[in-house]
Structure 1
Amino acid sequence: MLIRLIMRNLAPHKVPLTLIIVLQFLSTLGTLYLPTINADIIDDGVVKGNTALIFQLGGWMLAITAGQIVCAVGATYLSAHLAMKVGRQMRRDLFTRVESFSAQEVGVFGAPSLINRTTNDVQQVQMLTLMGFTMMVTAPIMCVGGIVLALKQDVPLSGLLVVILPVLILAIWLIVRKLVPLFRLVQKQLDRINAVLREQIMGISVIRAFVRRDFEMERFGQANGDLTWTQLRTGRLLALMFPTIFVVVNVTSVGVLWFGGQRIDSGAMQIGALTAYLSYIMQILMSVMMAMFMFMMIPRAAVCAERIQTVLDTDSSVADSPGALALRELDGALEFSDVGFTYPGAEAPVVSGLSFTAKPGTTTAVIGSTGSGKSTLLNLIPRLLDRSAGSISVGGHDSHTVTLETLRSAIGLVPQRAYLFSGTIAGNLRFGRPDATDEQLWRALEIAQAADFVRLMPAGLDAPVGQGGTNLSGGQRQRLCIARAVVSEPSIYLFDDSFSALDFTTDAKLRAALKPVTRHATVLVVAQRVNTIMHADHILVLDEGRLVGQGTHDELMAGCGTYQEIVTSQLTDDDGVRAV
């Protein structure tokens, strides 16, 4: 999987990849040839007093070294450039894939894990790619070339390689074998620590309000301690690897000098040949060390590649159907026919048997107890979740027969949790309509009862907005989210409990201002407060995921027990409503 992921991202860069391999090949050949020239200088030049040969061979050494430097620098530069491109491509692919996920897939992976896969995991694979260009190309050439040239210098002395190389490879393989599960565990624990940290940062006010700082510190300490312990075990294994390698290298050097000295004494070998042979032995062992260094990186990168590929191989449960129509616009006619939704693996459906019609120019309210499926109903319309049963018709088309872009362009959603993006107020309002003018933005702000506080800001429309709108109050965020929906002028407005942070006066003004804007649109409002939906054209009453009543306020007061209970719990005779 690791090789497949890297090669897929390298495919568009065949020319620079080929050039890198050629430059690395030439650089390694220069490294291999230098000890042979040095041996000739010693044996044929120094020993025999041939000064001309010394200068001639020395000039060749300088020329080869200069060429080797140029090739090595060029290969390293191109390798770094290409590795960064590979990382960029992987991050882009991950972001594109995650952007297509529905809430269901995001819930399966978890936001902290997806962030970790896009940053840390990609970095590990990217680093392996970079080191692979510089080491994995050089190591095989140096190892094979070194063995050939060592045999050329002295065959009997090369018997040391038959003993040394298997011992070195076996020792390192045993260590690497234990590293793989530890690297996999490290990545999971990184996900865990990111999840805890993200949760604590987002819930810092709750932690302080309930004086749970010590408890949360202990929880973070547990996750941090687990990660530290695993990394210590990994570090011990890595620390064991390098002494093992150096012991083998030093023992080999001693063996070469010992047996080589005996062969020189017997006249079977020259001093220059021994010098070159020792260089080749070091080059062979260095190539093995480079390969082993790569093998240290490969297990962790392989785990990261597996996690990245899992995301890339996951298809969104919400996608365009084959042959889906890309229409210019949809009107707001909405019809649910026996619609149900069940989360994968759940024992019971969240909602079931939902059937109703909402027409343009009307307001449909949805009310029910907590957990009755109100938000789920709204999320099924723009296909943020995909229905498990039944059919949903929008503008006379089944929602599955039109593209997601067509469907969602016709809908203005104000979510239950008012969320704004970092940037400016104008940038957030233009989120659904980039070409909106300042006049249209101010008009939307007037309707949403947000113009007054925006005017008080020194920068007005260009006032900065923190990530998530953290520099604004809850009521200000809600009004800006409502204005964002108004700017896009959709055919269907979905308000998911979007007035909960507003006082009654602001709520009444906002609803009055919305009426002219939405007179040709279909409006669905999820609400907890009865007095905000009493005058809706149609009210849907949900209880445990089922539609237990629908009609006007008066009709439901006359014939729906669940609605009567909700009204009785919230309103009194002083509110002008007949309590039952």
Structure 2
Amino acid sequence: MFTMLTYIKPYKWLIASIITLTLASTLFELYIPTLMANVIDIGITDSNLPYIIQSGVWMLVLSMLTILVTIVSIYLSSKVATGFGRDLRRALFVKVENLPIETLNSFGPATLITRTTNDSKQVQDVLSLILGTVTRAPLMLIGGIILAINREPKLSLIFLAALPILIFLIVGVMKKAIPLFEVLQTKTDRLNLVIRESLTGIRVTRAFNQVNYEKKRFNIANEGFRDNGIKVNKTMALLFPVMQLIINFTNIAIVWFGAIRINEGTMMVGNMMAFLQYALMIFMAFIMLSIAFMKLPRALASVKRISEVLEVEAIVKDPKETRESSKNKSGFIQLKNVTYRYEGAERAAVENISFKVCQGQTTAIIGGTGSGKTTLIQLILRFFDPVEGEILVNDIDVRFISQRKFREKIGYVPQKAILFSGTIEENLRLSNKDVTEKEIVEALTIAEAIDFVNLKEKGIHSVLHQAGSNLSGGQKQRLSIARALVRKPEIYIFDDSFSALDYQTDAKLRRSLKGKLDATIIIVSQRISSIMDADQIIVLDQGKMVGQGTHEYLLRNSIVYQEIVASQQIEEGVS
């Protein structure tokens, strides 16, 4: 939770200025009732007109100064709160971008979105409230009590009965509300999750005629959010009516006992008026604090949720001292006895994997579902580090290369083609900002994407919808491949990137890649036809390497590979 203080530190001088200005405006405001009492007890009683005018001018000046200082204080408070909110959202976004894949999955996208937007906004709003109100309320409360006691010590005994009740009420309500607000934020996560899944899976929902089922899911999540919100509001709704009741009875008591003292001649009318003003200020301070306390429980729940993300330790870290590889080496990869086990898994996802990928070679990885192909690729990409063994790139352990430099060597095409809203050109420039338009066209040509791009009215400047929803699966895959080609790296990794292509386009694309790329290529595929021409093929089965060699060698010597070939009804020599 103390992590949050890091993001307030840059604004410490502005916060000090706000506190100083708030103190000044509170002192001005507290002095006005004293002037008013003197006007009544001295000016009016003695018919002293010059004194009345002088005191009136001072009251006017102090009122104007209070207004001016308060405006500046509110402006600075807003500046600090919005700046803090911006910094917090940026920190959350950067943290999420660098979270380990397993941690990212354990949180889930819905809650991470809520924590970055809704939760950070709750904390920002409360900081604004604290700077603008909570810093003012204690000063007004303490100052009001001191001046009230100074005016009428005996009458001030009324506060001994009222103030403890108010404090007990606020603490009690807050104690009950904090757990409810934590549940409310969880309900917000659930609601966001259901909405997100319903929108992204709307085609599946309609195809299986399950719209009513999705409505029920949403209604359950929505009503859960509503019911918890009602509980919270019922709890908070007790605060103001009870406070108002206590304040009204206290005012009645002040007027009652004050009138008795005036009648006895032990108290002046001006003092009575000033005392009432100070009592009003004291109760206003409590009202301001209660408003803050209404907001505080939800903000504390948000702070806890944000801190959970910010305080996650990065599993994959940059080394303190990096090592440089030989300039003669380029695109060389070696795995030595690599093992990785997911948290809570019964067996290792990949176990004791060793092989080399030589410079300029094409290496294919194949295996059944759950054989560890994707895990192996993620290890090579260093999305996480092996629990045993090591991965070398150009004879250097990847743990001794900065992540940025290491990934500059790689052009990656994921299993699921990911495109962003924007133009085709903007999507391709994600991998290389300095690429020319000619190089973009060349990459599109190699990726067999130039034909459908040219058919679009604006060519490479054509706009793609979110996630490339206005393209077919094969078109998205080809653009993803072109994006990797634009980078011109040492190593290309294609993670089942040809699955949406027809066999003819697949064959043409592989010939283009082999003929025009002078780089190391790693291909993960379920299709034998996509990997038959590879220099070496790695066969995985239940996380273990059970075969290594060319297509012809594995057909003769690997039972698992023979079964894969047979299942696809592909005979030796067929491309």
Q: Per the alignment, do residues 561 and 465 of structure 1 end up closer, same or farther by CA in structure 2, a change over 3 Å counting?
A: same
Partner residue of 2:416? 417
Q: Per the alignment, do residues 260 and 231 of structure 1 end up closer, same or farther by CA in structure 2, a change over 3 Å counting?
A: same
- After superposition, what is the alpha-carbon deviation per residue over 1:268-312, rounded to whole angstroms, capped at 9, x for unaligned? 111111111011111111112212222222221111111111211
Q: Is the 8 A contact 1:326 1:406 kept in 2?
A: no
Question: Is 1:173 equivalent to 2:171 in the alignment?
Answer: yes
C-alpha displacement at 1:328, in angstroms?
Answer: 10
CA distance in 1, matches of 2:405, 2:170: 57
In the alignment of these two chains, the number of paired residues is 574
Partner residue of 1:549? 547
Q: Is the 8 A contact 1:328 1:406 kept in 2?
A: no
Question: Is 1:280 equivalent to 2:285 in the alignment?
Answer: no
State the one-letter code of the partner of 2:210. R
Question: Is 1:490 equivalent to 2:470 in the alignment?
Answer: no
- After superposition, what is the alpha-carbon deviation per residue over 1:174-197, rounded to whole angstroms, capped at 9, x for unaligned? 111100100111111111111121
CA distance in 2, matches of 1:224, 1:324: 51
Q: Per the alignment, do residues 7 and 384 of structure 1 end up closer, same or farther by CA in structure 2, a change over 3 Å counting?
A: closer
Matched position secondary structure for 2:418: coil
- After superposition, what is the alpha-carbon deviation per residue over 1:60-96, rounded to whole angstroms, capped at 9, x for unaligned? 0010011011000000011101110011111111112
CA distance in 2, matches of 1:351, 1:206: 33
C-alpha displacement at 1:516, in angstroms?
Answer: 2.5
Partner residue of 1:350? 349
Partner residue of 1:392? 391
State the one-letter code of the partner of 2:86. R
User: Quick one: which of 67, 78, 81 aligns to 2:76?
Assistant: 78
State the one-letter code of the partner of 2:553. E
Q: Is the 8 A contact 2:3 2:310 kept in 1?
A: no
Q: Is the 8 A contact 1:326 1:403 kept in 2?
A: no
State the one-letter code of the partner of 2:211. R
- Superposition pairs for residues 64-463 of structure 1, below 5 Å? 64-325=62-323, 331-463=330-462
CA distance in 2, matches of 1:6, 1:532: 51
Q: Which segments of structure 1 move beyond 4 Å, counting only runs of 4 or more? A: 326-330, 575-578
State the one-letter code of the partner of 2:185. Q
Q: Per the alignment, do residues 371 and 289 of structure 1 end up closer, same or farther by CA in structure 2, a change over 3 Å counting?
A: same
Q: Per the alignment, do residues 48 and 351 of structure 1 end up closer, same or farther by CA in structure 2, a change over 3 Å counting?
A: same
Partner residue of 1:15? 13
Structure 2 stretches lacking a partner, 5+ long: none
- After superposition, what is the alpha-carbon deviation per residue over 1:436-462, rounded to whole angstroms, capped at 9, x for unaligned? 000000000000011111112222222
Q: Is the 8 A contact 2:324 2:396 kept in 1?
A: no
- After superposition, what is the alpha-carbon deviation per residue over 1:234-285, rounded to whole angstroms, capped at 9, x for unaligned? 0001111110110111111111111111111111111111111011111111
CA distance in 2, matches of 1:12, 1:325: 35
TM (normalized to structure 1)?
0.96
CA distance in 1, matches of 2:515, 2:313: 41
CA distance in 2, matches of 1:53, 1:154: 24
Question: Is 1:470 equivalent to 2:469 in the alignment?
Answer: yes
Q: Is the 8 A contact 1:450 1:479 kept in 2?
A: yes
C-alpha displacement at 1:429, in angstroms?
Answer: 0.8
Give me the CA root mean square deviation.
1.6
C-alpha displacement at 1:14, in angstroms?
Answer: 2.5
C-alpha displacement at 1:317, in angstroms?
Answer: 1.3
- After superposition, what is the alpha-carbon deviation per residue over 1:299-348, rounded to whole angstroms, capped at 9, x for unaligned? 21111111111211112211212312367986111111111111122221
C-alpha displacement at 1:572, in angstroms?
Answer: 4.8
Partner residue of 1:500? 499
CA distance in 1, matches of 2:454, 2:319: 45
Q: Is the 8 A contact 2:326 2:394 kept in 1?
A: no
C-alpha displacement at 1:517, in angstroms?
Answer: 2.7
Partner residue of 1:515? 514
CA distance in 2, matches of 1:116, 1:314: 17
CA distance in 2, matches of 1:136, 1:326: 55
